[in-house]
Amino acid sequence: MTWKKLDTVAAAYAARVKSGEFSEDAAQVQLARRLDTLLLEVSNRRLASKSSALGWMFGRKQKSTKPPRGLYVHGAVGRGKTMLMDMFFELVPAKRKRRAHFHDFMADAHDRIHAHRQKLKNGETGEADPVPPVATQLIGEAWVLCFDEFSVTDITDAMLLSRLFEQLFSQGCVLVATSNVEPDQLYRDGLNRQLFLPFIKLLKDNVEVVNLDAMTDYRMETTTRLPVYHRLSQGEGSNAMDLAWTRATAGKMTTAETVHVKGRDVAVPQAGAGAARFSFADLCEAALGASDYAAIADRYHTVFVDQVPVMSETSRNAAKRFITLIDTLYDRKNRLFISAAADPEGLYMGKTGTESFEFARTASRLNEMQSTLYLETSRASEAVNLRKADKKL
């Protein structure tokens, strides 16, 4: 897209408005300008760091500069938080930067901690506390972090966050995050939440909290829906999914496959031509997590999920997995075919717990994933275009 070539978030945003992708919103314009301020601050810090590194050449020691405060952007689903953060990430001049879904980042951090403990067990390191060296590894790879969908529901994440980010912030980390909830509502009903509260204070000390109070759900403004979401209640179930599967795999023979994820195997019941097909039970009633969904999403550009039921408080674990699954597929631009017992807005009927408001984001994303715009920019569309290009060569 041409907006990537522009040098400010405000200009990139204006270009997309001009193209007719969505209408201008005053709150989004204001956030774009605040992101541009941070963009300038990060640029100045890079220049200051270079000057400090070269200070010995001029016989003087440069003063270290304090890292700029990041941004924590919260607001209702579909208001453009992720879109604007992604514009910032594309334009930010830091070479060591990382854009990740929050659950993916935390899974990576836990893996690194486990690896450090194995080294300690094997006598390869004498450092008993794994958090400082892991934080040093992470900051060495990226000092500008952009997190999509900051949402803490796992107690292991909750207990790690304060210690990990105390180290990261002390080493100059600049964090930009999007969330559906304000910081004070993070891990709201979590076990031992009082132990999590120091992280909230740490977060607010190191980021500016911004409420993106945009007027409309921009995802729905230009949503021309394509037949990828099939409602079981309207008789659009297995036959429609079977036909879509045949087309997605170009009629080729499909087989069961296995995806290897960190020492264990995840079964894929049907796979072929870059597509994989599962039942809801396969993915959300089994003991799978963010890293498993990431491995599936990275391997297959198209994912089919059959027989998604209406969920409630009695199926909270399955609902949490479904939320993580959709976040992962959306974040990686996978094409999704789904058969479900209700429209996206009616798939979760629970009224308590974090799932009740998190599912609003899931419903919004399921709607967007049916749109022409989303599907034309999905990885499946890119794969088709590459095959066409290869045939011409």
**DSSP 8-state symbol, 10:** H
Contact partners, residue 172, CB within 8 Å, separation at least 6: 67, 139, 143
Pair 162, 263 in one domain: no
For residue 209, being part of any structural domain is answered with yes
Residues 6+ apart with CB under 8 A from 75: 81, 180, 211, 212, 213, 214
The CATH number for 88's domain is 3.40.50.300
> In this structure, are strands 229-231 and 335-340 parallel, antiparallel, or unpaired?
parallel
Residues 307, 263 share a domain? yes
CA 103, 266, 154 angle in degrees (round to 5)?
25
Residue-range definition of the domain harbouring residue 198: 2-216
CA-based nearest residue to 77, from 160, 149, 156: 149
Could you tell me if 72 and 183 lie in one domain? Answer: yes
Assess whether 308 and 160 both reside in one domain.
Answer: no
CA distance 297 to 101: 13
pLDDT of residue 52: 53
Q: What is the DSSP string of 71-92?
A: EEEE-STTSSHHHHHHHHHHH-
For residue 388, tell me if it sits in a domain. no
Query: How many CB atoms are closer than 10 A to CB 304?
Result: 24
Q: Which two tokens stand for residue 101?
A: 């879904």
Among 165, 199, 216, the domain-final residue is 216
Final residue in a domain of this structure, among 183, 216, 249: 216
On whether both 179 and 253 belong to a single domain, the answer is: no
Residue 386 lies in a domain: no
How far apart CA 315 and CA 332 sit, in angstroms, is 26
**308 shares a domain with 232:** yes
Q: Note whether residue 392 is domain-resident.
A: no
107 and 255 fall within a common domain: no
Count of domains forming the chain: 2
Are residues 63 and 202 located together in one domain of the fold? yes
- Indicate the pairing of strand 144-148 with strand 255-261: unpaired
Same domain, 230 and 182: no
CB 225 within 8 A of CB 371: yes
The answer to whether the beta carbons of residues 112 and 134 sit under 8 Å apart is yes
What does DSSP say about strands 335-340 and 207-211: parallel, antiparallel, or unpaired?
Answer: unpaired
Residue-level pLDDT, tens digit, the chain, 393 residues:
444 456 899 999 999 888 877 788 999 999 999 999 999 999 888 766 655 544 444 444 444 467 899 999 998 877 889 889 999 999 998 999 999 988 889 989 999 999 999 999 999 999 999 999 999 999 999 999 999 889 888 888 999 999 999 999 999 999 999 998 899 999 887 888 999 999 999 999 999 999 998 766 555 554 445 678 988 866 666 788 998 899 888 878 899 999 998 888 999 999 998 999 999 999 999 999 888 999 999 999 999 999 999 999 899 899 999 999 999 999 899 999 999 999 999 999 987 777 777 888 899 899 989 988 888 888 777 555 444 444 443
- Confirm whether 206 is domain-assigned: yes
Residues 308 and 377 in one domain: yes
331 part of a folded domain: yes
Question: What b/e string do you get for 183-208 counting C-beta neighbours within 10 Å, with b at 16 or more?
Answer: beebbeebeeeeebeebbebbeebbe
Task: Tell if the pTM clears 0.85, that is, is over it.
Answer: no
Single-letter amino acid, residue 15: A
Residue 275, in any domain of the structure: yes
Instruction: Give pLDDT, residue 298.
Output: 93
pLDDT score of 318: 95
For residue 66, the model assigns a pLDDT of 79
Rounded CA separation 48/139 (Å): 18
Regarding whether 352 and 246 lie in a shared domain, the answer is yes
What are the helix (H) ranges across the chain?
9-18, 26-53, 81-91, 102-121, 131-141, 155-170, 197-206, 238-248, 280, 290-299, 316-331, 355-368, 372-376, 379-392
Beta bridge partners of 155: none
* Same-domain check for residues 211 and 236: no
Rounded Cα distance, 16 and 335, in Å = 23
Residues 6 or more apart in contact with residue 134 via CB below 8 angstroms: 109, 112, 113, 116, 164
For every residue of 101-161, DSSP letters joined together read EHHHHHHHHHHHHHHHHHHHHTTS-----SHHHHHHHHHHH-SEEEEES-----HHHHHHH
Q: What is the pLDDT of residue 45?
A: 85
Which of 164, 186, 216 marks a domain boundary? 216
Looking at the domain assignment, is residue 390 inside a domain? Answer: no
